[in-house]
Amino acid sequence: MAEKIRTGIEGLDNLLDGGLPKAHCILLAGSCGTGKTILCQQFLFTGAREYNDSGVYISLSESRDKMVGYLEQFEFFDRAYIDSRLIRIVDITQDPRLMNFQPLSARTILDIIVSVIRENNAKRVVIDSLTAICTALGDDADIRGFIFELGLQLQFLNCTTILISEVPPMSFQYSVYGIEEFITDGVILMRELENKGDLLRTLQVVKMRGAGHSRSRSILEISTKGVELKPMFEL
């Protein structure tokens, strides 16, 4: 069995029998508003606080300042980790290397991601989102080549990575292109559940290589503490 590292979300760590397998690549699939960003940031801040792990959040949609301003409402957030650069939030759309290449190429994006991870000696990595990168590439052959090459590169970087996948709401779907789930070691699915007129968030571990885990679906709630999971029967 692989060594486990805690995510900082007690319910998720319990489902995973101790946490995520270290140095594995995980696909986190969910639609808009299901809590993907908060879960990933909680994962990074737990790494910094409990393991002194350097972490990097690679974004294609939000600036560093906007993200930090959003995170300040949560108890797990600690500005000291941002100021010391133990945790970095990197908007690669502002990277000169990317801005100087039009149209975008799979190789250029891949090189920048690998460079950011190596420059920061990152042990915990979040890429937000794999879907956005693939959409920017456009060509199906480039997309498939990029996904497979990214999976190979992450194996050699020895970091625990969460790849965010944007999927349609109210669906049992892991990815847009149908191959993302096959290059990753684990899949966590975040969905909605309609209950008496209320739209509830849920989380389910679909697969996790190298780890015993529960496949039961849990209710996901977001508070100032961050993400919290509760058993479905508490409905």
Residues 106 and 202: their CA atoms lie apart, in Å, by 33
Of 56 and 131, the one with more pLDDT: 56
Residues 142 and 227: their CA atoms lie apart, in Å, by 35
**For residue 101, pLDDT beyond 60:** no
Other Cβ atoms within 10 Å of 4 Cβ, number: 17
User: Highest mean pLDDT range out of 36-40, 142-146, 175-179?
Assistant: 36-40
Q: What is the tally of helices (H) and strands (E) in the chain?
A: 8, 11
| pTM to 2 decimal places | 0.93
User: Highest mean pLDDT range out of 66-80, 97-111, 159-173?
Assistant: 66-80
pLDDT digit string, tens, across residues 166-205: 998 877 888 888 888 888 999 999 999 888 778 899 999 9
Pick the CATH number of 23-198 from 3.90.320.10, 1.10.1740.10, 2.40.10.10, 3.40.50.300: 3.40.50.300
Region 69-82 average pLDDT? 96
pLDDT bin (cut points 50, 70, 90) of residue 92 is: confident
pLDDT digit string, tens, across residues 10-19: 999 999 999 9
Region 203-229 average pLDDT? 93
Region 115-137 average pLDDT? 91
**For residue 213, pLDDT beyond 90:** no
Residues 135 and 20: their CA atoms lie apart, in Å, by 28
Percent of the chain with pLDDT over 70: 95
Which DSSP category does 39 fall into?
Answer: H
Of 197 and 153, the one with more pLDDT: 153
| Alpha-carbon distances of 209 from 17, 158, 187, rounded to whole Å | 12, 16, 9
pLDDT digit string, tens, across residues 39-51: 999 999 999 999 9
User: Highest mean pLDDT range out of 116-125, 133-142, 172-181, 193-202?
Assistant: 116-125
Residues 46 and 203: their CA atoms lie apart, in Å, by 19
pLDDT averaged over every residue in the chain = 90
